[in-house]
Structure 1
Amino acid sequence: MKIAISTDAGFVSAHFGRCPSFTIAEIGEGKILKVEEINNPGHQPAFLPNFLAECGAKYIICGGMGRRAEALFAEKEIIPIVGVTGKVTEVIEKFVQGKLEAGESSCKPGAGKGYGLEKEECDHSEEDTHLH
């Protein structure tokens, strides 16, 4: 099984679509088999759910995500886990141990920039990009 984590400088990014990269971790038999970081290919309508599905991700872990994005991931049978903060390596370990806890999304529904529409920024500051 693979999980995708929105990543910014080794920490979970506050907003999945605006992260510089994704960490893809392959997990099997209760351990981490492989970890790789890939650049975010861009934030376009429905693109990231398709891209991460092609990468084999079954979960997307991030600080925040809007409702539309959650619905698009659900269509691809990828489970969003939002409201997560901390170092990516620690988040992967917690996931493997079954101890990863979701929180509230750091983004207000419809408040992000994306899908070609200019809107207000998400409900987190630029300084809180990786919420550590």
Structure 2
Amino acid sequence: MKKIAVTYENGQVFQHFGHCKQFKIYEVQENKIIASNLLDAGGSGHGALADFLKSHGVDVLICGGIGSGAKTALSQAGISFYPGAAGGADEQVAALLAGTLRFDPDTVCSHHHEGHGQEEGHCHGHGTDDKCGSGCC
């Protein structure tokens, strides 16, 4: 059995891994979802979240924005990841299983330590024009 985690907020892929409060975990067998549940992350920061996912047996992560430290922590935990995904969480997992997931392996969240929320109207390096109130920061 394989476990796939998605950064989660209100049914959508949450766009900032390091600030993710919930993950939706999908149990997959023979390329089909057999169960899913929501888990509160219980912490923040890339190291704590990577350890959290590893402790729940997660093999794969689908997420939006992610920093280089988080990528390193996930790699060290043995978790493969698909950054730059957006849209409904359930649909993104189905797309991964079908081999059609649209993601950007070069997605980097580069605004760490720049005073979150201080610049209006931009997502501080996420490569989008989303307002920070939309959940990306």
Above 0.5 in TM-score?
yes
Moved over 6 A (4+): none
What secondary structure sits across from 2:28 in the alignment? strand
Rg comparison, structure with higher value: 2
Is 2:67–2:108's contact at 8 Å kept on the other side of the alignment?
A: no
Q: Which residue of the partner structure matches residue 115 of structure 2?
A: 120
What secondary structure sits across from 1:37 in the alignment? strand
1:105 aligns with 2:76: no
CA distance in 2, matches of 1:16, 1:72: 12
What secondary structure sits across from 1:92 in the alignment? helix
Q: Which residue of the partner structure matches residue 12 of structure 1?
A: 13
Q: Deviations over 1:72-97 (max 9, x none)?
A: 11001101210000001111111111
CA distance in 2, matches of 1:85, 1:97: 16
For the aligned residues, what is the CA RMSD? 1.8
Change over 3 Å in CA distance of 1:81–1:39 after alignment to 2: same
What secondary structure sits across from 1:46 in the alignment? helix
Is 1:2–1:58's contact at 8 Å kept on the other side of the alignment?
A: yes
State the aligned residue count: 123
What are the equivalent positions in structure 2 for 1:9-88 lying under 5 Å apart?
Answer: 9-44=10-45, 46-88=47-89
Q: Which residue of the partner structure matches residue 120 of structure 2?
A: none
TM-score, normalization: structure 2? 0.81
In structure 1, runs of 5+ residues without a counterpart are 113-117
Following TM superposition, by how much is the alpha carbon of 1:127 offset from its aligned partner in structure 2, in angstroms?
3.3
